[in-house]
Structure 1
């Protein structure tokens, strides 16, 4: 028994946590990321509205500070202007009550066109009792 316990305790455990890179405060990188997210906000809000109108009686709000860049990559060669960007979005209702977590992947073209490639609903949050009336009844 002691041998088994010793083996279990000494075994390496692996844990995978989602890590989101956050640029240094007040940096040029943070400024550019904030500009980038601001330009995408109408596209983000549209997709959030499309999903949550099926489950809530009102559309949640997405604040830019609840949008995180998970992955960004250039499509094509060096200095091409087509990109794939994966975002983590936390929409809220009322006084910043999270309704869920979603991942949105957009294709952004140098022409300014933005196309949703993938919408993933990752998690549904349980609303507080006094906000449950916002949930649409399931048929």
Structure 2
């Protein structure tokens, strides 16, 4: 019983000392760095999601309006939440998507969740890229 209580106290103390830190809202250089490094992974996820919807893969612009990023730091990983508005052609928005990444201390990036939030209609002259099932 003493071992159990000792182990339990150790775990509680460990959990109490773990800290997570959120990036400050005005920390734009950090957000830009994160988006720059994650851009290929973000585009890969967009390609995967929209491949069955369009004949042309949408893209995203990490440094214009339409892409938000939140970063949380933990002792063993960094969690990044990216919300973006992919577009085709001359910035014709096709939807809103949210992607959550986990980056461990060795730099390994894992997509935790891809969530499609909303569709936007394309104008008539772009309807030909829509795949019909």
How is 1:15-94 mapped onto 2 (pairs within 5 angstroms)? Answer: 23=26, 29-65=27-63, 66-69=66-69, 71-75=70-74, 80-94=75-89
User: Which segments of 5 or more consecutive residues in structure 2 lack a partner in the other structure?
Assistant: 1-23
Q: Hey, which bits of structure 1, 4+ residues long, moved more than 4 A? A: none
**CA RMSD for the aligned pairs?**
1.5
* Structure 1 position 99, deviation (Å): 0.6
Cα distance in 2, alignment partners of residues 36 and 68 from structure 1 = 11
**What SS does the corresponding residue of 1:48 show, helix, strand or coil?**
helix
- Size of the aligned set, in residue pairs, is 108
* Structure 1 position 72, deviation (Å): 2.8
User: Which segments of 5 or more consecutive residues in structure 1 lack a partner in the other structure?
Assistant: 1-20, 24-28
1:2-29 deviation line (CA, Å, top 9, x unaligned): xxxxxxxxxxxxxxxxxxx863xxxxx2
CA contact (8 A) 1:37 1:67 kept: no
CA contact (8 A) 1:48 1:91 kept: yes
